[in-house]
Structures are given as structure tokens and as C-alpha cells.
Structure 1
Amino acid sequence: MAAASSTRRKAPSAAEQARREAQSRQDKGETTPVDVDLWGVTVTVDPDMLTDAEIMEWMIISSDEEETDQARLTAQMKATKMLCGGRYRQVIRAIRAANDGRATIEDTAQILARIMEAISPEA
């Protein structure tokens, strides 16, 4: 009697499976959450958040030269906090640890810039 040969395929690794799923989402036009390293704190940001009306409002105000400095700063902070989700305070603590206890307005602008670069690197 001849032995039946097994043609079982090796299961893909977790990394390969994740790559395939990400490619499938991309092929379907779906977005994929992006991990952003902010001073050693990983923040996962869903690019679809940029379609949220409130976040878009804050982003528009933060870059509107006709708004007051206070209004632009407030809008920048609100957008940044929303995009960081529950990790915002951890990011601020990490910035402070890296900067002798200080977290400046420029640092918060850098948080927003890094998130936007990660979400849309070609922009």
C-alpha cells in the first residue's frame, strides 16, 4: 500500500498574516491604524480620525492665521489630545523626562506634526 503524501501548507507566521491583512485593507481602500512613536510612547492613531468633524474643526482653527494666538493654541492642544487618546499624559511625561522637566508649546506642535507625518507620510 502506498503512503498518502501530505500536501499540507505551512500556516503563515503572525507577521505574514498581519502583512496580508494590511494589504487586503489597503486594496479595499480601508485605513489601517498607525503606531506613532512619541518620545518612546507608542500611540496608535486611526487615520479615519481625521474625518471626525470636531478634530477637523480644531485642525482648521489651529492653522487659521485670522484666529487669535490663544484660539490657535487651544485648537492645537485639543486636536493633539484627541489624536493621542488616553496616551496624551504619558507622552507629555515622556517629553518632560527628555527635557529636564519641561514640555513646551513647541513640543505639543511636534506631537501633532509627528502624528500627521505617520498618518500621511506622502503629504
Structure 2
Amino acid sequence: MIKFESENVQKFAEACVDANSIDELLAGFNHLEADATDCKTWGITPAEWMDAIKAATAEKIRIWASENECPELLKAIAIWKNCPLEEVEIGGEGDIAAGNKWLDDDGLITFYRWNAATYGEAK
């Protein structure tokens, strides 16, 4: 996960990973509006809240990918990225490479959303 300069933001992001599912984090991320109660409780700004939610969501997707690495998941990544299966890799920390390029947090979230929409559930 990204390491934040602010200890409050780092602790909030880690708590989000520990206490929420990917879908719960995506729901917060999809609102495009920070939760005022969280911001006040954790002493963070709305922009920091969004950054932490994004990082936590991507981290949960990395965990999901590392725990569910299988031929079907690799094939889904190749289809999504339109690249040869040989150019798809899931690293030890759950980082995903497709087309010989590692996905950033936005790419991980975009893939997860596509995968859920395409297959109706996580593959």
C-alpha cells in the first residue's frame, strides 16, 4: 500500500483495509464525496480521505488477486487488457502486470470493476 506522509491518513487507510470488503470500499469511492464523520474522527481532509480510500481499495484488490490467482483470473486480465496471456502476471504482493506493465491503483480498480461487471462475480 502507498505510504502516506500523514500518520492519520496512513492509519485510516490501514483501518479501511482491515475493516472493509472491496465492495464496501468501492461504494465509498464511487460516491466521490468524503465521509465527513470519518474526516473529523481521523483528523484528515476530504482529499486525504479519497486518497486513503483509493489506496485501501487497491490494496484489497491486491490481496484478492494474490489469494485467487488461477488460470481463469489470468485469462480475464488478458482479455480485459487485450494482451497475450504470456504477458499477464500476478506478483507475490498481488500486483498485476498486463501487457508487460504493472497496473497502478486506478488500473487495479478499473480491472476489478470490469471483471465484476463482465462475470457477475470475482473470477
TM-score w.r.t. length of structure 2? 0.38
The structure with the largest helix share of the pair is 2
